Structure 1
């Protein structure tokens, strides 16, 4: 088989370098602009009645308040109160699987939380209070929560209103959920082009989150009010939550957020929701739709060194159709974000240096930034470097072996096109120590990631893959109850339905 010919015919879009190895049909490539076409899922857990710890007054009411708020924002909400460890873990396992086809996955927990050995734990109703270690052993870790939202397609949010008085402390009433900024980043999965993760704490590390004198905590009240605000960008929403709680508590409590959101704007309410379904470049351009007061808030955040705000301000100035188009200033904003270590900013600035947009063209600097972004785990950069090594370019000598290695890295970062392309390479037999089952696994993951081009290719051109790979994919669909037909490699109506179900479409 002519590997190069097959490879070029079966690859999807190559982002960032202005080439397209697979031309999608208009119907497949067009993104939905229906603001409610996206799927939002939320898991709400409140623990008020503890078997071996002091009860909490407002946690369940807070959970119901947030549940009602999210339901009004078109979330599929699963709410649970005063549950034990086994039920909590089972809920997370089910939620993690369902959230793979969600655009947004959110977990909210209100209850006791503790830190043991540098790890954070959320305490269920039946936790063993024999010692702090026993409490940790019979609780759910923050890592478990992060894994439950990890594969959502666009946005992942974990909200912990669990920084209340620690009943397990050796002395005094002390909040023990602690996360330094760098530690938070190290515990999160590397961000991909289409997914971001935000972890919001009700109070700063080491501080107590107030339960409130009324029916709800100050944090829950501020969160419920702010999330409903029309046309408020999600990153700015959590900054407003912080300001509202500070005001309500006379500066006694300051919520904090950790982790990273992608550089694409996102809106939970209002007409601006339509941008959530736009193609990636149009999404970035949508920063220009922010109201003046929100742009001013971005400016404030940027002055504080917030890299996402810096990127938003840069993208506002990279749209040639906008009056504020100013690529030189955009490059300056991205430079500051690069200095802060943001890999997405490195990637975007690399593209500008590659093309000489807003900066003097400098191919060597572009390549250096691409490599730094890839080293920090940014999947778009890894995938682009793969194409550069496969084809040659930017001074890189053609090296198919290195290209395959990079495609594999991008695929393992769950980059949808890379997963599809890597599966094609495995299917062609050019990836050492990989089998048809491995190819099928990458195809399944690409399908679950929500990439319409992947669904289109598997539906319309399944025979581009060998029978062994097709059978393995059918087997994986069957194992996950998406398909109940024969494992024969024939993608008839039953397999087609299984593909759509795995993708997240109803029958």
Structure 2
């Protein structure tokens, strides 16, 4: 019988800010800072040939350009675009050629606009209503098409700001017999699928008008709010836009309300302070120290506007072979959580080294019904009489109950569960499998039926028969809840409760044998990303204080949790 034991926590647990980062070999090459370029195209049409002119557009155009230049944007100004041909063949292509991967790109328009169906259109100076339905694309520019066109250059963040109406108004779409046609749909911009962090700010709700001012030299309420609020230091753009919306509601007597469509996981700060950049650097160090493709990919998306995004993208290019690699754990993160309390003294976990393991960061499945048999629980002081509960078949059944497994060594898959079956492919160590079922053959062999992510091809993997390992996570020592950072950067946790806990355990001369990190479930993708980033920060703190990463598991979307806090449980003696 083998028994895994704990190890002593090293005593150097000074305040986190003074600890030296523990980074993987070669990681120092990716600690450079390179702020993304900022590019803006400002379009304002003041004078129209066939519809009323808008005297306030000139002030909108000039003042927003000044504000963006003050925020280090390289601004291209396009006043009074005369036709769709000029816009599509000259202005827009010239601007797009300046965009590189990872840039922060902003498109701003002030002038007449309208909605039709699910699209929002901006009007050039020569637009003559009513517009025939067959000539719509030649008469006005769909904001969604501009978004897709610019997004193909893969900017880090794409911001679209539309200070224009979203009504049909007198831009009536006429049909073959001159009858009026109105598109079905709400007029909201449909989500795009190019993977670019995209924010679309509208001056007005769908179907309503955006107000301009009749006095030359005065900005429209929406642009006035933008220019007043954009300089907000260390404030995330979504918060800034809510302030703009409130300003416009007040200025127009609740007639007009702006809205922000957010198809982005990025934290966007247009005026970061030195303190904020330091927090972004800490988040980058935490992600980089894991050496995991998924963690660094998450950082690159969530911090696409930070000075460290370029380094993250470079790491991903340099380590493309790790894209499908996962880290395995001897035990289920859900099993460790289930042991909390009196059970931690009553049970050990028996694990068979079958060539497979559990995901070290496991997302708890909705309505999952996991039993003690699925966790490999055996009575403390496990002996051969309980071996039946730890055989290979039960081990594979546990992976099926969890929905997944990770290969811990290179394996070979066959087309059916037989040692004489034709080989399908080799599966390298670190591959994630979608576990579906288990088959036991008459020769005593056990086979896992599984698929690879993104594939419907069923594969069979024969489990290797190896000695049983007895894992004793230890007694339940201490549980803490770590809230998000007090400084407002949600990708970091407030490390002080965790540091205090580590200091306390050292002073009590405790031995830590396992640590479980857990996050609560949320349906909001951006919030889920922030919680996982904070869990990564917790892992970083633990590793820096001498905890073996192999003895740290993470349960994502824990069913017994709620809220933004990260729960950390210590096991040992």
TM-score by length of 1: 0.49
Of Structure 1 and Structure 2, which has the larger fraction of its residues in helix? Answer: 1
| TM-score normalised by L of structure 2 | 0.44
Give the greater-gyration-radius structure (CA).
2
Structure of higher RCO (CA pairs closer than 8 Å, 6+ residues apart): 2
Q: Which has the higher strand share?
A: 2
